[in-house]
């Protein structure tokens, strides 16, 4: 629970920045880059404020859920530590029964782990220590040691002389959290989305240069918005199903269950509902921030400078759009630099994902609803319907429980998930082809022409 001083700071910072933004934008002295900087500051402060507000009821709700396991509500330090975990070391997954049914080359034998390591895991999560044999079993099934760089994944062929492959988290790559933890994660993501929308509304109200329609949050009609969101979900889900089907066909993953929670005592429907809210918050926050603000302000700012370099305004607009796509995609990719399991491959794949997201914005005529639908469909199907990791985000439940094959991490993406796999570029290209077929080029051309017209006003 925040102190009175912390509450004061959390309330005053957004108000001060709102006052500064109002004065700068009402005077017309802020450039497009300046407005982007103002958004970043406002978004951070309002997002944190809403996070602090929503976290209080979220913790209370989480403590009441079936199978909930969390520190006392007055233990701020341990609550925060649990909420910041990318993977809960107290969760044993998959279960011994599942392991017993696996083919021999799917079973991972762990390297030696000291008794002190095992007891540290138990003490961290307040789990009573069991017998030495039970600890040994758990260690053989799943290694949750934080010193991940020292662990190895044994080659599935026992007669091979090839060196063991290092792994970064656990034998089967997937990160997991309890449903009670996911509730608090969801509150943080929803708070971030509310903060972004609130900041966007304030800046668009103060600015004479940028409106909600420009950012992509205009509502031409309820039917059009619902249509764009629905088509986006269908496209995002379809290309994830495409990846899943090929991975299953090639033997890179194995289905081991249905409608499972990673903690058996938790309720699937409740946990899945919080997963939906989690990814809804992610989709709104990232699409508005990166495609709505960074991409459109980048296009406008670059176009103003490029008009002096090109004789043809249309050529200047093409230059501005391509450059802004590259900048936005780079920043979107780097946003995931420290995600669990991230490598150069995942960053390159996400750069292509940023290009696809920019195309969504343009072919839909400069609206975000298609992109929000795609982003949500991609995330929820990958992470919680088809049981694959999404940018290393931990899983709390899934409609289809999947085990990635240990020796094929370079193909299926390891801890980071399919976005780091070899099929991701093909899926992004397929998705772009689908939206072009569905929407055509007319709205994109009209949006580009509108961009040129708007640039001449300033």
pLDDT digits (tens, 9 = 90+) for 144-153: 443 333 333 4
Each residue's pLDDT tens digit, 288-347? 999 999 999 999 999 988 888 888 888 999 999 999 999 999 999 999 999 998 999 999
Q: Is it the case that residue 157 has pLDDT exceeding 70? A: no
Residue 192 · residue 334 · CB < 8 Å: no
**6 — pLDDT class (breaks 50, 70, 90):** confident
As a whole number, the mean pLDDT across the chain is: 85
Each residue's pLDDT tens digit, 48-59? 999 999 999 999
Q: Is it the case that residue 8 has pLDDT exceeding 70? A: yes
Each residue's pLDDT tens digit, 391-401? 999 999 999 99
Q: Is it the case that residue 248 has pLDDT exceeding 50? A: yes
Q: Is it the case that residue 19 has pLDDT exceeding 80? A: yes
d(CA 401, CA 376): 19
More confident residue, 101 or 438: 438
Which one, of 19, 443, 34, 449, lies nearest residue 209 by Cα?
Answer: 34
Q: Is it the case that residue 97 has pLDDT exceeding 60? A: yes
3-class DSSP state for residue 108? Answer: coil
44-58, 164-178, 366-380: segment of lowest average pLDDT? 164-178
Q: In the structure encoding, which two tokens stand for residue 369, read together? A: 């609803």
Strand 253-261 and strand 397-404: pairing? Answer: antiparallel
pLDDT exceeding 90 applies to what percent of the chain? 66
Q: Is it the case that residue 170 has pLDDT exceeding 70? A: no
**1 — pLDDT class (breaks 50, 70, 90):** low
Q: Is it the case that residue 164 has pLDDT exceeding 80? A: no
Check residue 171 and give its pLDDT: 66
Strand extents, DSSP E, 136-187: 152-153, 165-166
**457 — pLDDT class (breaks 50, 70, 90):** low
Q: What is the mean pLDDT of the segment spanning 192-206? A: 96
pTM of the model: 0.85
Q: Is it the case that residue 458 has pLDDT exceeding 70? A: no
| Residues in contact with 285: Cβ distance below 8 Å, sequence separation at least 6, in sequence order | 189, 192, 193, 195, 196
Q: Is it the case that residue 128 has pLDDT exceeding 90? A: no
**440 — pLDDT class (breaks 50, 70, 90):** very high
Strand-pairing partners, residue 258, are 400
Check residue 116 and give its pLDDT: 39
Residue 172 · residue 93 · CB < 8 Å: yes
Tell me how crowded residue 381 is: count the other CB atoms within 10 A of its CB.
Answer: 25
Length of the chain: 458
More confident residue, 202 or 104: 202
Check residue 129 and give its pLDDT: 37
Q: Is it the case that residue 374 has pLDDT exceeding 70? A: yes
Q: What is the mean pLDDT of the segment spanning 244-250? A: 96
Q: In the structure encoding, which two tokens stand for residue 165, read together? A: 């492959």
Check residue 106 and give its pLDDT: 85
Strand-pairing partners, residue 152, are 166
Q: In the structure encoding, which two tokens stand for residue 91, read together? A: 């969760």
């Amino acid at each position: 629970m925040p102190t009175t001083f912390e509450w004061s700071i959390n309330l005053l910072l957004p108000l001060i920045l709102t006052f500064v933004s109002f004065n700068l934008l009402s005077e017309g002295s802020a450039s497009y880059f300046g407005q982007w900087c103002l958004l970043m500051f406002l978004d951070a402060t309002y997002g944190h404020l809403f996070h602090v507000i929503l976290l209080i009821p979220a913790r209370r709700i989480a403590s009441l859920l079936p199978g909930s396991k969390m520190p006392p509500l007055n233990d701020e330090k341990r609550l925060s530590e649990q909420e910041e975990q990318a993977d809960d070391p107290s969760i044993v997954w998959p279960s011994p029964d599942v392991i017993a049914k696996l083919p021999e080359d799917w079973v991972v034998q762990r390297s030696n782990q000291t008794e002190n390591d095992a007891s540290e895991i138990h003490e961290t999560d307040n789990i009573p220590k069991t017998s030495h044999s039970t600890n040994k079993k758990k260690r053989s099934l799943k290694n949750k040691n934080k010193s991940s760089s020292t662990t190895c994944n044994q080659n599935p062929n026992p007669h091979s002389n090839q060196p063991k492959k290092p792994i970064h988290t656990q034998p089967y790559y997937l990160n997991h959290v309890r449903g009670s933890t996911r509730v608090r994660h969801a509150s943080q993501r929803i708070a971030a989305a509310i903060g972004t929308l609130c900041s966007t509304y304030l800046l668009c109200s103060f600015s004479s240069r940028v409106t909600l329609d420009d950012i992509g949050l205009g509502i031409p009609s309820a039917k059009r918005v619902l249509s764009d969101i629905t088509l986006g979900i269908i496209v995002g889900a379809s290309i994830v199903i495409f990846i899943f089907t090929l991975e299953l066909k090639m033997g890179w993953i194995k289905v081991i269950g249905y409608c499972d929670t990673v903690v058996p005592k938790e309720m699937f429907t409740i946990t899945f509902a919080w997963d939906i809210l989690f990814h809804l918050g992610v989709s709104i926050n990232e699409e508005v921030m990166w495609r709505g603000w960074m991409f459109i302000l980048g296009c406008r700012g670059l176009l103003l400078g490029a008009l002096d370099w090109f004789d043809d305004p249309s050529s200047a607009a093409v230059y501005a759009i391509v450059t802004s796509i590259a900048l936005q995609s780079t920043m979107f990719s780097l946003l995931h630099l420290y995600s669990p399991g991230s490598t150069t491959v995942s960053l390159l794949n996400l750069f292509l994902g940023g290009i696809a997201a920019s195309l969504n914005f343009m072919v839909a005529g400069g609206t975000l609803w298609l992109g929000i639908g795609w982003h949500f469909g991609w995330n929820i199907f990958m992470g919680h319907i088809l049981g694959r990791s999404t940018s290393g985000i931990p899983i709390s439940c899934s409609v289809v429980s999947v085990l990635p094959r240990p020796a094929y991490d370079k193909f299926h993406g390891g801890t980071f998930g399919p976005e780091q796999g070899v099929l991701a570029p093909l899926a992004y290209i397929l998705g772009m082809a689908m939206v072009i077929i569905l929407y055509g080029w007319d709205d994109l051309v009209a949006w580009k022409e509108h961009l040129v017209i708007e640039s001449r006003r300033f």
